Chains A and B, each alone.
Chain A
Amino acid sequence: MNAAHLHLVLQQARRGDRTAFAQLVEQYYPRALRFALQMLRSREDAEEAVQDTFVRVHDHLAGFREDAPFDPWFFRILGNRCRTMLAKRKRHRDFIEYGDVPYDAAASERADVPDDDFAREVHRALDALPPEQREAFLLRHVNEMDYEEMTIVTGAKGSTLRMRVKRAVDALRDTLQAPLRAGVFHE
């Protein structure tokens, strides 16, 4: 969907056109799910966050400025949903810290990680990043946003975002570079 087509679809969806809204969901669902999965590492949470995001987009589409870029607005809502989920999960983890039920959401979601040593290592390194660094890295290098768009998504300043991306890259390098050089992942 090019920019002109997206503009038209958004205009129609704003007027309540169901087909246009369905087109919007079809277009954005896969990217939204990829981002939420990589942020939350739980398919159930990711699907819930994405569904919630689309409901909010639907409800607030009429207030969306026609000439504003849609992607940052959409990912800002999705980013907020993911952060809310992470905060909820942290509260839950704190609550059962002294309980006898171990909590490891990531452990049960390995089905979404490809069966490949290097891919597993990348996902493990990504999981180990603090959420704000993970988010900045994913927006920049996976969703290929520029820093202005990332500012709209996260509300953080460009310099802060650049630092987060740099720290994420440093951390990934530290984790992945040594085995890469040693050829651990070569067949």
Chain B
Amino acid sequence: MSDHRAPHNGHTESLPDDEIMLAQVKAVLSPLPTVNRQQIAQILAATQHRRRTPWQRVSGRLEQALEWWRFSMPPLARGASLAAAALTIGFVARGYISQPRDSSAPMPDATSMAAAPGSPATMAAPALAVNRAAEAVVQQVPVQFLLDARDIPAAANVSVVGDFNEWSVSAAPLTLDNGVWSTTLPLAPGRHVYAFVVNGERWLADPRAPQATDADFGRPGSVIIVQAP
């Protein structure tokens, strides 16, 4: 096993001790282990006829999310998120439980509740607030994305990818007109991160928008804040 000690020879003597030690450790740990071909055959056999029912797919996703939650969140954040979830459930449940049982009775609106504080109608406020919030989410605003063709002279096709289209390169292509690549997409109000993809492979941040500090997987990204209408 003399290769483990290769960095001991003359030309590495000027390197700092840590680098020599690391090179030797890497020389020990880098060789790939012997592979048991039977194991590979087992994996291929195990996946060959794997057809998953919708329930298995859902439970698989839940399991994955749980695993991520267990290992990616510090214990304090886990406790805080559990407490927040419990509070939210309690808050919503309280609203539902306190709703009037008679469905034929007219639903009180926000103004009537504000006008009569302390009345039984105020107890339904959390549920109403949740419903209103859900309505607000679906209102989308048309947003135009523009890119000067002079910035990307070799472009044959350009698309915009972002958290609003699952980062799909094919979902939102831009069209070239009068030297400007553009498209308009309906976006939900809020903050979105996006980027342009040139010729299906080159990622480009919008030169006219602020850069995202949380750019996905280290690729360039820009931020747009969409205001509610």
Partners in one complex: yes
Please list the residues of chain A having a beta carbon within 8 angstroms of any beta carbon in chain B.
Answer: 18, 21-22, 25-26, 29-31, 33-34, 37-38, 47, 50-51, 54-56, 58-60, 65-69, 72, 79-80, 83-84, 112, 114-116, 118-119, 122-123, 126, 138, 141-142, 148, 152, 154-156, 169, 172-173, 176-177, 180, 185-187
**Could you say which of B27-35, B92-100, B132-140 contacts chain A?**
B27-35
Q: A78–B47 Cα gap in the complex (Å)?
A: 17
Q: A18–B72 Cα gap in the complex (Å)?
A: 32
Number of A-B contacts (CB under 8 A): 127
Please list the residues of chain B having a beta carbon within 8 angstroms of any beta carbon in chain A.
Answer: 1-2, 4-5, 8, 17-18, 20-22, 24-26, 28-30, 32-33, 35-36, 39-40, 42-44, 46-48, 50, 52, 57, 60, 64, 67-68, 71-73, 161, 166-167, 169, 197, 216-218
In this complex, the member of B24, B25, B50 whose beta carbon has the largest number of chain A beta carbons within 10 angstroms is B25
Known contacts A25-B43, A60-B64; is A138 also within 8 Å of B29 by CB? Answer: yes
Query: Closest approach, in angstroms, between the C-beta of B49 and any C-beta of chain A?
Result: 11
15 contacts between A and B (CB under 8 A): A29-B35, A29-B43, A58-B47, A59-B52, A59-B57, A65-B167, A68-B217, A80-B68, A83-B71, A119-B1, A122-B25, A141-B26, A141-B29, A169-B18, A180-B24
A25–B64 touching, CB < 8 Å: no
Interface of B is mostly: helix
B47–A118 touching, CB < 8 Å: no
Nearest opposing residue in chain B for A160, CB measure:
B74
Query: Closest approach, in angstroms, between the C-beta of A180 and any C-beta of chain B?
Result: 7
Collect the chain B residues with CB atoms within 8 Å of residue A156's CB.
72
Q: A68–B64 Cα gap in the complex (Å)?
A: 18
Q: A34–B46 Cα gap in the complex (Å)?
A: 21
A142–B217 touching, CB < 8 Å: no
Known contacts A30-B33, A67-B169; is A84 also within 8 Å of B217 by CB? Answer: no
Q: A59–B58 Cα gap in the complex (Å)?
A: 11
Collect the chain A residues with CB atoms within 8 Å of residue B4's CB.
114, 116, 118-119
B28–A114 touching, CB < 8 Å: yes
Nearest opposing residue in chain B for A76, CB measure:
B68
B29–A51 touching, CB < 8 Å: no
Known contacts A118-B4, A172-B21; is A66 also within 8 Å of B40 by CB? Answer: no
Interface residue from B22, B46, B50, B68 paired with A155 (Cβ < 8 Å): B68
Query: Closest approach, in angstroms, between the C-beta of B105 and any C-beta of chain A?
Result: 45
Known contacts A118-B24, A122-B25; is A148 also within 8 Å of B5 by CB? Answer: no
Besides A54-B46, A65-B166, A148-B217, 6 other CB < 8 A contacts? A54-B43, A65-B167, A83-B71, A84-B67, A155-B71, A180-B20
Query: Closest approach, in angstroms, between the C-beta of A74 and any C-beta of chain B?
Result: 13
Query: Closest approach, in angstroms, between the C-beta of A72 and any C-beta of chain B?
Result: 8
B167–A67 touching, CB < 8 Å: yes
Query: Closest approach, in angstroms, between the C-beta of A111 and any C-beta of chain B?
Result: 10
A173–B17 touching, CB < 8 Å: yes
Q: A25–B42 Cα gap in the complex (Å)?
A: 11
A69–B43 touching, CB < 8 Å: no
B40–A55 touching, CB < 8 Å: no
Top 3 A-B residue pairs of the complex, sorted by shortest distance between their CB atoms = A155-B72, A116-B1, A30-B32
In this complex, the member of A115, A122, A142 whose beta carbon has the largest number of chain B beta carbons within 10 angstroms is A122
Known contacts A65-B166, A126-B29; is A152 also within 8 Å of B217 by CB? Answer: yes
A47–B39 touching, CB < 8 Å: yes
